């Protein structure tokens, strides 16, 4: 069964921002791609004779591997550099010459060649011995000496040849190079499992057990796609002005620019449709090397005379090495409350982006323009934060589960279809981005349950690790979230590895007249399309004994029937070409959560953490210090 990983990985950009001030020329005239480049990846596959054996699910291990590898090939980003190496594929017995050096590169590391990878997977056969150590050495050579590199090892047994793969992994990691070795153990136990876990630990990577084809698909896709992708900003290069007077004119679209130092502001001039509106949003990520970087990102729209019409602020603290996304967005149109005649009468507006402090940082700018709405009186009034849609999402204890790989940015965020249960994993310091389609008149609620995990239990103290879920509008503005613990709605808390932990984001209905709200989060939530959900976990301190990847079940619901679509007097020019859902069937009633006895609600003990990831949410440094202190004392 094909699980459609590729379609899950195809991204839509969250309203991005214009490419402003430059500390050097734009990197690409056709389209800027900033920050981390996609990494280099080599898949290392066990072709030993034991791969003929059957898994607990009844399939042969080789068939399970082929299915999972097919999903990996589909889901790889087009710009990644990927290769494939096998071991144990040509020499049958250890008594035969060359058995312990039987490893070969069957697809050289280079730009993704899906046809070559698919053909190599089809030709993959179980045959010989298990020289894992030499295969790892060969894989490191395949990847070259520099850049972000990942080895993903799939094996079903312990090594039958020297050198010791755990020693090899430690040697490779000890060279001070950016190399990570992830490992999937297929239906292994005992000594074989210990060795493979040691390889992952020594190689600075993650280890997964896979007992079935479904386990293997989830783990192999996750490990392959997670590390080969990097955080990148994509859009058309543009250089914003340093004043309103020298602001360049831009049209609706997605851009990339660089902030000015010392709270400098970048400016962009946008034509405003008669009686309509203009939206602006920005997205950045703090530089990883600055451990306690504080970002205060402001976006605003001004009249040409300098009068500020509207603005929004996104804040985040980078605590103990955690690197949050930070975004902000706002919109001004004739229905937005204002006291400025110059804003109401302006036929063009000036978008402004300001970073509070820090060195110049690349960011995305997204601009949208919207004609006047011809039927505002017939549309529903602005929504409130709380309402009958406030409830958690019950996640079934059993039934079909679809693998998914959370995005690094909104660009590669997979879509969560309402009513489907998805399986993912989350590591410490990781944030996963998803998107949920929403039509006018619908509210969205999303729950993520982080499941118990033995390695997480060993790595975390009694208090656990801060874990949070938040949601952004298509404008990148943080949506106000309901908190009602009596209904199981809590967006944050602490995951300790021993118990399930549920976090839920409940979002108000999207209505065009939300622009009339004095709550900036609700005011920005006035266009159907997608909302973006970010699930994140804090960084472990340096005393952690091991890394882990905790399993996650995530499910979204839309509440209410589609209604209240506005009639525009002209063409909407949204920042992206992706169509907005305007019709459909709600996946949940607008009342309380359903009480299906076959569903389980995990507890969310611990202090509620009012966020973790930025996007307008502040993580308090004092709270982080307290968490670390409690964790150390608990040990």
The 10s digit of each residue's pLDDT in 310-339 is 888 887 654 444 456 778 888 888 777 666
Q: Which of 337, 372, 407 is the last residue of a domain?
A: 372
Comparison of pLDDT for 507 and 257, the residue scoring more: 257
Q: Which of 372, 406, 429 is the last residue of a domain?
A: 372
**Cα dist from 247 to 18, 237, 302, 523, whole Å:** 12, 15, 12, 26
For 18-36, the DSSP string reads: -----SS--S-SS-EEEES
Task: Give a yes or no: residue 22 inside a domain.
Answer: no
Residues 247 and 342 in one domain: yes
CB 262 within 8 A of CB 67: no
Distance in angstroms (rounded) separating the CA atoms of residues 280 and 329: 6
Q: Rounded to two decimals, what is the model's pTM?
A: 0.73
Distance in angstroms (rounded) separating the CA atoms of residues 183 and 83: 16
Task: Give a yes or no: residue 384 inside a domain.
Answer: no
Domain that includes residue 286, residue range: 235-372
Strand runs labelled E in 476-548:
492-495, 501-507, 529-537
Distance in angstroms (rounded) separating the CA atoms of residues 184 and 155: 7
Residues 506 and 592 in one domain: yes
Task: Give a yes or no: residue 326 inside a domain.
Answer: yes
Task: Give a yes or no: residue 205 inside a domain.
Answer: yes
Residues 226 and 245 in one domain: no
Comparison of pLDDT for 613 and 394, the residue scoring more: 394
Residues 304 and 225 in one domain: no
Residue 175 has pLDDT above 90, yes or no: no
| Angle between helices 190-202 and 132-143 in degrees, nearest 10 | 30
Residues 197 and 283 in one domain: no
**Cα dist from 111 to 39, 149, 270, whole Å:** 11, 14, 38
Average pLDDT value for the chain: 78
The pLDDT-based confidence of 71 (bands split at 50, 70, 90) is confident
Q: How many Cα atoms sit within 13 Å of 410 on the Cβ side?
A: 34
Q: Is 104 exposed, middle or buried (0-12, 13-18, 19+ CB in 10 A)?
A: middle
Distance in angstroms (rounded) separating the CA atoms of residues 370 and 15: 14
CATH number of the domain bearing residue 303? 2.60.120.380
CATH number of the domain bearing residue 84? 3.40.50.410
Burial letters 105-115, b for 16+ CB under 10 A, else e:
bbbebeebbee
Comparison of pLDDT for 611 and 447, the residue scoring more: 447
Give the residues across from 438 on adjacent strands.
529
Residues 346 and 430 in one domain: no
Distance in angstroms (rounded) separating the CA atoms of residues 10 and 229: 13
Task: Give a yes or no: residue 5 inside a domain.
Answer: no
Residues 225 and 79 in one domain: yes
Task: Give a yes or no: residue 9 inside a domain.
Answer: no
Residues 204 and 299 in one domain: no
Distance in angstroms (rounded) separating the CA atoms of residues 19 and 366: 9
Q: Which of 188, 209, 230 is the last residue of a domain?
A: 230
Residues 331 and 436 in one domain: no
Residues 602 and 456 in one domain: yes
Residues 130 and 43 in one domain: yes
Q: Domain total for the chain?
A: 3
SS3 state of residue 84? strand
Residues 325 and 411 in one domain: no
SS3 state of residue 322? coil
């Amino acid at each position: 069964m094909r699980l459609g990983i590729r379609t899950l990985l195809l991204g839509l950009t969250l309203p991005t921002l214009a490419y402003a001030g430059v500390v050097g020329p734009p990197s690409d005239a056709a389209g800027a791609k900033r920050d981390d480049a996609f990494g280099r990846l080599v898949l290392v596959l066990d072709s030993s004779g034991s791969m003929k054996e059957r898994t607990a699910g009844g399939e042969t291990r080789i068939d399970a591997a082929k299915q999972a590898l097919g999903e990996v090939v589909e889901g790889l980003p087009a710009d990644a550099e990927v290769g494939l190496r096998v071991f144990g594929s040509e020499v049958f017995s250890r008594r035969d010459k060359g058995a312990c050096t039987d490893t070969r590169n069957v697809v050289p590391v280079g730009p993704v060649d899906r046809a070559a990878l698919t053909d190599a997977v089809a030709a993959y056969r179980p045959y010989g011995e298990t020289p894992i150590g030499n295969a790892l050495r060969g894989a490191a050579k395949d990847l070259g000496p520099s850049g972000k590199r990942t080895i993903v090892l799939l094996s079903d047994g312990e090594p039958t040849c020297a050198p010791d793969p755990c020693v090899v992994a430690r040697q490779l990691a000890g060279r001070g190079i950016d190399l990570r070795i992830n490992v999937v153990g297929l239906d292994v136990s005992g000594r074989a499992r210990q060795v493979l876990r040691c390889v992952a630990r020594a190689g600075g990577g993650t280890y997964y057990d896979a007992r079935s084809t479904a386990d293997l698909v989830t783990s192999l896709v996750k490990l392959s796609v997670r590390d080969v992708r990097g955080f990148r900003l994509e859009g058309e290069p543009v250089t914003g002005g340093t004043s309103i007077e020298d602001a360049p004119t831009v049209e609706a679209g997605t851009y990339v620019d660089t902030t000015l130092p010392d709270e400098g502001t970048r400016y962009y001039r946008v034509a405003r449709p008669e009686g309509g509106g203009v939206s602006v949003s920005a997205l950045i990520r703090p530089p990883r090397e600055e451990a306690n970087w504080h970002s205060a990102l402001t976006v605003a729209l001004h009249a040409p005379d300098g009068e500020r019409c509207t603005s929004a602020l996104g804040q985040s603290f980078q605590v103990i090495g955690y690197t949050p996304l930070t975004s902000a967005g706002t919109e001004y149109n004739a229905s937005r409350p204002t006291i400025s005649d110059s804003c109401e009468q302006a036929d063009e507006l000036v978008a402004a982006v300001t970073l509070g402090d820090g060195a110049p940082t690349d960011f995305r700018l997204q601009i949208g323009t919207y004609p006047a709405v011809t039927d505002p009186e017939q549309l529903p009034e602005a929504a409130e934060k709380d309402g009958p849609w406030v409830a958690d999402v019950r996640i079934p204890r059993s039934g079909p589960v679809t693998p998914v790989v959370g995005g690094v940015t909104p660009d590669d965020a997979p879509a969560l279809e309402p009513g489907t249960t998805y399986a993912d994993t989350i590591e410490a310091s990781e944030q996963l981005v998803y998107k949920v389609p929403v039509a006018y008149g619908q509210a969205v609620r999303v729950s993520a349950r982080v499941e118990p995990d033995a390695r997480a239990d060993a790595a975390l103290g009694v208090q656990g690790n801060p874990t949070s879920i938040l949601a952004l509008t298509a404008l990148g503005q943080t949506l106000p979230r309901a908190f009602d613990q009596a209904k199981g709605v809590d967006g944050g808390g602490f995951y300790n590895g021993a118990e399930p932990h549920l976090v839920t984001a409940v979002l108000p209905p999207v209505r065009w007249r939300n622009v009339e709200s004095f709550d900036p989060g609700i005011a920005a939530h006035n266009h159907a399309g997608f909302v973006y959900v970010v699930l994140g976990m804090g960084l472990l301190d340096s005393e952690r004994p091991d890394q882990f990847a905790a399993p996650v079940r995530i499910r979204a619901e839309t509440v209410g029937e589609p209604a209240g679509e506005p009639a525009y007097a002209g063409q909407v020019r949204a920042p992206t070409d992706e169509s907005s859902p305007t019709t459909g069937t709600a996946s949940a009633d607008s009342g309380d959560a359903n009480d299906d006895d076959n569903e389980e609600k995990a507890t969310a003990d611990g202090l509620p953490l009012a966020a973790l990831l930025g996007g307008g949410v502040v993580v308090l440094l004092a709270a982080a210090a307290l968490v670390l202190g409690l964790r150390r004392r608990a040990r």
